[in-house]
A and B are shown apart, each in its own frame.
Chain A
Amino acid sequence: MKKHARDVLLIALIMLIGGVIALCLLLTRKTGAFVEVRVDGSVVSVYPLDEDAEYLIEGAHGGSNRLIIRNGEAWVESASCPDGLCMNMGHIRYKGASIVCLPNRVVISIAGEADEDVDAVVGQ
Protein backbone atom coordinates (compact mmCIF):
# COMPACT_ATOMS: atom_id res chain seq x y z
CA MET A 1 0.00 0.00 0.00
CA LYS A 2 2.99 2.28 0.49
CA LYS A 3 3.37 2.25 -3.27
CA HIS A 4 0.16 4.24 -3.62
CA ALA A 5 0.87 6.74 -0.84
CA ARG A 6 1.40 9.62 -3.27
CA ASP A 7 -1.71 8.69 -5.26
CA VAL A 8 -3.84 8.77 -2.13
CA LEU A 9 -2.29 12.09 -1.12
CA LEU A 10 -2.92 13.62 -4.55
CA ILE A 11 -6.55 12.47 -4.76
CA ALA A 12 -7.16 13.56 -1.15
CA LEU A 13 -5.76 16.98 -2.03
CA ILE A 14 -7.98 17.26 -5.12
CA MET A 15 -11.04 16.29 -3.05
CA LEU A 16 -10.04 18.73 -0.31
CA ILE A 17 -9.75 21.64 -2.75
CA GLY A 18 -13.10 20.63 -4.26
CA GLY A 19 -14.59 20.60 -0.76
CA VAL A 20 -13.15 24.03 -0.01
CA ILE A 21 -14.67 25.40 -3.24
CA ALA A 22 -18.03 23.86 -2.28
CA LEU A 23 -17.86 25.26 1.24
CA CYS A 24 -16.94 28.74 0.00
CA LEU A 25 -19.87 28.70 -2.41
CA LEU A 26 -22.32 27.40 0.18
CA LEU A 27 -21.29 29.84 2.91
CA THR A 28 -21.40 32.86 0.65
CA ARG A 29 -24.61 32.08 -1.20
CA LYS A 30 -27.50 34.48 -0.91
CA THR A 31 -30.85 34.57 -2.64
CA GLY A 32 -30.57 37.02 -5.48
CA ALA A 33 -32.78 39.94 -6.46
CA PHE A 34 -32.26 40.31 -10.20
CA VAL A 35 -31.80 38.19 -13.28
CA GLU A 36 -29.07 39.63 -15.45
CA VAL A 37 -28.89 38.66 -19.10
CA ARG A 38 -25.62 39.06 -20.96
CA VAL A 39 -25.00 38.51 -24.64
CA ASP A 40 -21.39 38.57 -25.81
CA GLY A 41 -20.27 39.76 -22.39
CA SER A 42 -22.41 42.89 -22.17
CA VAL A 43 -25.57 43.17 -20.09
CA VAL A 44 -28.60 43.44 -22.39
CA SER A 45 -31.37 43.29 -19.79
CA VAL A 46 -32.07 42.99 -16.06
CA TYR A 47 -35.29 41.48 -14.72
CA PRO A 48 -36.57 41.30 -11.12
CA LEU A 49 -36.46 37.76 -9.71
CA ASP A 50 -39.62 38.21 -7.63
CA GLU A 51 -41.91 38.89 -10.61
CA ASP A 52 -43.17 35.91 -12.62
CA ALA A 53 -42.53 36.45 -16.30
CA GLU A 54 -41.37 34.97 -19.60
CA TYR A 55 -38.83 36.53 -21.92
CA LEU A 56 -37.30 35.66 -25.26
CA ILE A 57 -33.55 36.37 -25.28
CA GLU A 58 -31.98 37.17 -28.63
CA GLY A 59 -28.49 35.66 -28.55
CA ALA A 60 -25.60 35.85 -30.98
CA HIS A 61 -25.83 34.36 -34.51
CA GLY A 62 -29.65 34.68 -34.55
CA GLY A 63 -30.10 32.18 -31.70
CA SER A 64 -32.66 32.60 -28.97
CA ASN A 65 -33.42 31.28 -25.47
CA ARG A 66 -36.76 31.39 -23.66
CA LEU A 67 -36.24 32.53 -20.08
CA ILE A 68 -38.86 31.80 -17.42
CA ILE A 69 -38.94 33.54 -14.05
CA ARG A 70 -41.39 31.98 -11.57
CA ASN A 71 -41.56 31.61 -7.79
CA GLY A 72 -38.24 33.38 -7.31
CA GLU A 73 -36.43 31.02 -9.68
CA ALA A 74 -35.15 31.48 -13.20
CA TRP A 75 -34.57 28.87 -15.89
CA VAL A 76 -34.37 28.37 -19.64
CA GLU A 77 -37.37 26.49 -20.97
CA SER A 78 -36.46 26.24 -24.65
CA ALA A 79 -33.60 27.31 -26.85
CA SER A 80 -32.56 27.34 -30.47
CA CYS A 81 -29.08 25.97 -29.82
CA PRO A 82 -28.44 22.42 -31.07
CA ASP A 83 -27.28 20.94 -27.76
CA GLY A 84 -29.89 22.57 -25.51
CA LEU A 85 -27.49 22.37 -22.58
CA CYS A 86 -28.80 25.62 -21.11
CA MET A 87 -32.17 23.91 -20.60
CA ASN A 88 -30.45 21.25 -18.53
CA MET A 89 -28.64 23.68 -16.27
CA GLY A 90 -31.55 23.75 -13.87
CA HIS A 91 -33.28 26.48 -11.92
CA ILE A 92 -31.23 29.27 -10.39
CA ARG A 93 -32.05 31.53 -7.47
CA TYR A 94 -28.83 32.23 -5.59
CA LYS A 95 -26.60 35.21 -6.21
CA GLY A 96 -23.85 34.36 -8.68
CA ALA A 97 -25.58 31.26 -10.02
CA SER A 98 -25.80 31.23 -13.77
CA ILE A 99 -27.02 29.52 -16.89
CA VAL A 100 -24.65 29.61 -19.82
CA CYS A 101 -25.51 29.02 -23.45
CA LEU A 102 -22.24 28.92 -25.36
CA PRO A 103 -23.64 28.69 -28.93
CA ASN A 104 -25.76 31.82 -28.42
CA ARG A 105 -23.12 33.45 -26.20
CA VAL A 106 -25.79 34.07 -23.57
CA VAL A 107 -25.09 34.16 -19.83
CA ILE A 108 -28.06 34.44 -17.49
CA SER A 109 -27.00 35.14 -13.92
CA ILE A 110 -28.48 36.11 -10.61
CA ALA A 111 -27.34 39.44 -9.21
CA GLY A 112 -28.10 41.53 -6.16
CA GLU A 113 -29.27 40.28 -2.79
CA ALA A 114 -32.89 39.84 -1.86
CA ASP A 115 -32.67 40.54 1.87
CA GLU A 116 -30.27 43.43 1.91
CA ASP A 117 -31.31 46.96 2.78
CA VAL A 118 -31.48 49.23 -0.19
CA ASP A 119 -28.27 51.22 -0.40
CA ALA A 120 -29.06 52.91 -3.65
CA VAL A 121 -31.52 52.72 -6.47
CA VAL A 122 -29.87 52.68 -9.86
CA GLY A 123 -31.69 54.24 -12.78
CA GLN A 124 -34.74 56.47 -12.95
Chain B
Amino acid sequence: MSGGVSMKRKPLTTKQLAFYGLMIALALILSYLESLIPPFFAVPGMKLGLTNLVVLIMLYSKGARSAVFINFVRILLVSLLFGNGMSFAYSMAGGLLSALVMILLKRIGGFSIAAVSIAGGVAHNVGQIIAAILLLQTTSIAWYLLILWFTGTVSGAVIGILGGILCKKLQSARLFAE
Protein backbone atom coordinates (compact mmCIF):
# COMPACT_ATOMS: atom_id res chain seq x y z
CA MET B 1 0.00 0.00 0.00
CA SER B 2 2.66 2.53 1.00
CA GLY B 3 5.01 1.34 -1.73
CA GLY B 4 3.18 3.48 -4.27
CA VAL B 5 4.72 6.77 -3.14
CA SER B 6 8.33 5.65 -3.07
CA MET B 7 7.93 3.87 -6.42
CA LYS B 8 7.40 7.25 -8.06
CA ARG B 9 10.99 8.27 -7.38
CA LYS B 10 12.70 4.99 -8.06
CA PRO B 11 13.56 4.29 -11.70
CA LEU B 12 12.08 1.17 -13.24
CA THR B 13 14.31 -1.87 -12.98
CA THR B 14 14.90 -4.07 -16.01
CA LYS B 15 12.94 -6.82 -14.35
CA GLN B 16 9.97 -4.52 -13.78
CA LEU B 17 10.13 -3.28 -17.36
CA ALA B 18 10.08 -6.83 -18.70
CA PHE B 19 7.29 -7.73 -16.31
CA TYR B 20 5.08 -4.82 -17.40
CA GLY B 21 5.76 -5.64 -21.05
CA LEU B 22 4.73 -9.22 -20.42
CA MET B 23 1.54 -8.18 -18.65
CA ILE B 24 0.57 -5.73 -21.42
CA ALA B 25 1.22 -8.43 -24.02
CA LEU B 26 -0.98 -10.81 -22.02
CA ALA B 27 -3.75 -8.20 -21.78
CA LEU B 28 -3.53 -7.59 -25.54
CA ILE B 29 -3.78 -11.29 -26.33
CA LEU B 30 -6.80 -11.61 -24.04
CA SER B 31 -8.40 -8.59 -25.74
CA TYR B 32 -7.83 -10.22 -29.11
CA LEU B 33 -9.18 -13.58 -27.92
CA GLU B 34 -12.28 -11.88 -26.61
CA SER B 35 -12.87 -10.09 -29.90
CA LEU B 36 -12.98 -13.52 -31.57
CA ILE B 37 -15.88 -14.69 -29.39
CA PRO B 38 -19.13 -13.90 -31.18
CA PRO B 39 -21.51 -11.77 -29.10
CA PHE B 40 -23.71 -14.21 -27.28
CA PHE B 41 -27.03 -13.95 -25.45
CA ALA B 42 -28.13 -11.28 -27.92
CA VAL B 43 -27.04 -8.59 -25.48
CA PRO B 44 -24.73 -6.14 -27.21
CA GLY B 45 -21.91 -4.87 -25.06
CA MET B 46 -22.00 -7.93 -22.85
CA LYS B 47 -18.48 -9.14 -22.63
CA LEU B 48 -16.61 -11.49 -20.39
CA GLY B 49 -13.93 -8.89 -19.70
CA LEU B 50 -11.01 -11.30 -19.90
CA THR B 51 -8.52 -8.45 -19.79
CA ASN B 52 -9.88 -7.45 -16.43
CA LEU B 53 -8.18 -10.60 -15.21
CA VAL B 54 -4.80 -8.96 -15.82
CA VAL B 55 -5.91 -5.70 -14.19
CA LEU B 56 -7.23 -7.60 -11.20
CA ILE B 57 -4.03 -9.59 -10.74
CA MET B 58 -1.93 -6.44 -11.13
CA LEU B 59 -4.07 -4.65 -8.55
CA TYR B 60 -3.59 -7.43 -6.02
CA SER B 61 0.07 -8.21 -6.71
CA LYS B 62 1.56 -4.81 -7.61
CA GLY B 63 -0.93 -2.24 -6.39
CA ALA B 64 -3.31 0.39 -7.76
CA ARG B 65 -0.76 2.45 -9.69
CA SER B 66 0.46 -0.52 -11.71
CA ALA B 67 -3.08 -1.72 -12.39
CA VAL B 68 -4.17 1.66 -13.75
CA PHE B 69 -1.00 1.93 -15.84
CA ILE B 70 -1.45 -1.50 -17.42
CA ASN B 71 -5.12 -0.79 -18.05
CA PHE B 72 -4.39 2.55 -19.72
CA VAL B 73 -1.67 1.20 -22.02
CA ARG B 74 -3.80 -1.83 -22.86
CA ILE B 75 -6.82 0.28 -23.87
CA LEU B 76 -4.62 2.62 -25.92
CA LEU B 77 -2.97 -0.26 -27.80
CA VAL B 78 -6.19 -2.23 -28.37
CA SER B 79 -7.87 0.87 -29.78
CA LEU B 80 -4.93 1.51 -32.09
CA LEU B 81 -4.72 -2.10 -33.24
CA PHE B 82 -8.32 -3.28 -33.46
CA GLY B 83 -10.57 -0.29 -32.77
CA ASN B 84 -11.20 3.35 -33.50
CA GLY B 85 -11.69 6.63 -31.67
CA MET B 86 -15.16 5.64 -30.56
CA SER B 87 -14.14 2.31 -29.11
CA PHE B 88 -11.28 4.10 -27.33
CA ALA B 89 -13.72 6.45 -25.59
CA TYR B 90 -15.99 3.57 -24.54
CA SER B 91 -13.15 1.38 -23.32
CA MET B 92 -11.56 4.27 -21.47
CA ALA B 93 -14.77 5.26 -19.68
CA GLY B 94 -15.48 1.67 -18.71
CA GLY B 95 -11.90 0.76 -17.86
CA LEU B 96 -11.18 3.79 -15.71
CA LEU B 97 -14.45 3.70 -13.74
CA SER B 98 -14.01 -0.03 -13.18
CA ALA B 99 -10.41 0.40 -11.99
CA LEU B 100 -11.42 3.30 -9.72
CA VAL B 101 -14.19 1.28 -8.04
CA MET B 102 -11.96 -1.78 -7.60
CA ILE B 103 -9.11 0.29 -6.11
CA LEU B 104 -11.52 2.00 -3.70
CA LEU B 105 -13.02 -1.30 -2.55
CA LYS B 106 -9.58 -2.82 -2.09
CA ARG B 107 -8.55 0.23 0.00
CA ILE B 108 -11.66 -0.10 2.16
CA GLY B 109 -10.74 -3.73 2.67
CA GLY B 110 -12.66 -6.77 3.82
CA PHE B 111 -13.91 -7.70 0.35
CA SER B 112 -12.92 -10.85 -1.52
CA ILE B 113 -11.35 -10.61 -4.97
CA ALA B 114 -14.57 -11.97 -6.51
CA ALA B 115 -16.71 -9.27 -4.87
CA VAL B 116 -14.30 -6.54 -5.94
CA SER B 117 -14.40 -7.93 -9.49
CA ILE B 118 -18.21 -7.99 -9.51
CA ALA B 119 -18.35 -4.31 -8.50
CA GLY B 120 -15.69 -3.62 -11.14
CA GLY B 121 -17.69 -5.42 -13.83
CA VAL B 122 -20.80 -3.38 -13.03
CA ALA B 123 -18.79 -0.15 -12.91
CA HIS B 124 -17.26 -0.98 -16.30
CA ASN B 125 -20.70 -1.24 -17.89
CA VAL B 126 -21.97 1.88 -16.13
CA GLY B 127 -18.93 3.77 -17.47
CA GLN B 128 -19.67 2.60 -21.00
CA ILE B 129 -23.32 3.64 -20.70
CA ILE B 130 -22.25 7.10 -19.48
CA ALA B 131 -19.89 7.35 -22.47
CA ALA B 132 -22.71 6.29 -24.81
CA ILE B 133 -25.07 8.87 -23.31
CA LEU B 134 -22.46 11.60 -23.79
CA LEU B 135 -21.38 10.52 -27.30
CA LEU B 136 -24.79 9.72 -28.75
CA GLN B 137 -26.50 12.52 -26.81
CA THR B 138 -29.40 10.37 -25.76
CA THR B 139 -30.74 9.34 -22.39
CA SER B 140 -33.01 6.72 -23.93
CA ILE B 141 -30.66 3.83 -23.25
CA ALA B 142 -31.77 3.33 -19.65
CA TRP B 143 -33.12 -0.15 -20.47
CA TYR B 144 -29.74 -1.06 -21.75
CA LEU B 145 -28.21 0.01 -18.44
CA LEU B 146 -30.51 -2.39 -16.60
CA ILE B 147 -29.42 -5.37 -18.70
CA LEU B 148 -25.75 -4.48 -18.52
CA TRP B 149 -26.01 -3.89 -14.76
CA PHE B 150 -26.82 -7.55 -14.22
CA THR B 151 -24.61 -9.01 -16.96
CA GLY B 152 -21.78 -7.01 -15.39
CA THR B 153 -22.24 -8.85 -12.12
CA VAL B 154 -22.16 -12.22 -13.90
CA SER B 155 -19.01 -11.55 -15.94
CA GLY B 156 -17.44 -9.84 -12.92
CA ALA B 157 -18.08 -12.94 -10.81
CA VAL B 158 -16.57 -15.29 -13.42
CA ILE B 159 -13.45 -13.13 -13.78
CA GLY B 160 -13.28 -12.57 -10.02
CA ILE B 161 -13.32 -16.28 -9.19
CA LEU B 162 -10.70 -16.98 -11.88
CA GLY B 163 -8.64 -14.04 -10.62
CA GLY B 164 -8.82 -15.26 -7.04
CA ILE B 165 -7.50 -18.68 -8.02
CA LEU B 166 -4.76 -17.16 -10.18
CA CYS B 167 -3.67 -14.70 -7.46
CA LYS B 168 -3.26 -17.56 -5.02
CA LYS B 169 -1.28 -19.65 -7.51
CA LEU B 170 0.88 -16.74 -8.64
CA GLN B 171 1.90 -15.77 -5.11
CA SER B 172 4.40 -18.59 -5.18
CA ALA B 173 5.66 -17.66 -8.67
CA ARG B 174 9.04 -15.90 -8.64
CA LEU B 175 7.95 -13.56 -11.45
CA PHE B 176 5.51 -11.83 -9.16
CA ALA B 177 7.92 -11.48 -6.24
CA GLU B 178 9.41 -7.99 -5.95
A residues bordering B, Cβ < 8 Å? Answer: 4-7, 10-11, 14-15, 17-18, 21-22, 25, 38, 41, 83, 85-86, 88-90, 96-98, 100, 102, 105, 107, 109-110
Contact = CB atoms under 8 A, between A and B. Distances in A.
30 contacts: A6-B111, A6-B115, A10-B105, A10-B118, A11-B118, A11-B153, A14-B118, A14-B149, A15-B153, A17-B149, A18-B153, A21-B146, A21-B149, A22-B146, A25-B142, A41-B135, A41-B136, A83-B39, A85-B44, A86-B44, A89-B42, A89-B44, A96-B142, A98-B138, A98-B143, A100-B44, A100-B141, A102-B86, A107-B136, A107-B138
Interface centre among B43, B141, B143, B145 (most CB of A within 10 A): B143
Interface of B: 39, 42-45, 86, 105, 110-112, 114-115, 118-119, 122, 132, 135-138, 140-146, 149-150, 153
A4 B112 contact: yes
Nearest to B123: A14
A51 to B, nearest CB: 21
B112 A109 contact: no
Contacts of A22: 146
Contacts of B45: 85
Given A14-B153, A89-B44, A102-B86, A107 B39 contact: no
Contacts of A10: 105, 111, 115, 118-119
B115 A11 contact: yes
Nearest 9 interchain pairs by C-beta: A85-B44, A41-B137, A109-B140, A7-B115, A88-B42, A6-B110, A98-B140, A18-B149, A96-B140
Nearest to B112: A7
Given A97-B143, A98-B144, A41 B138 contact: yes
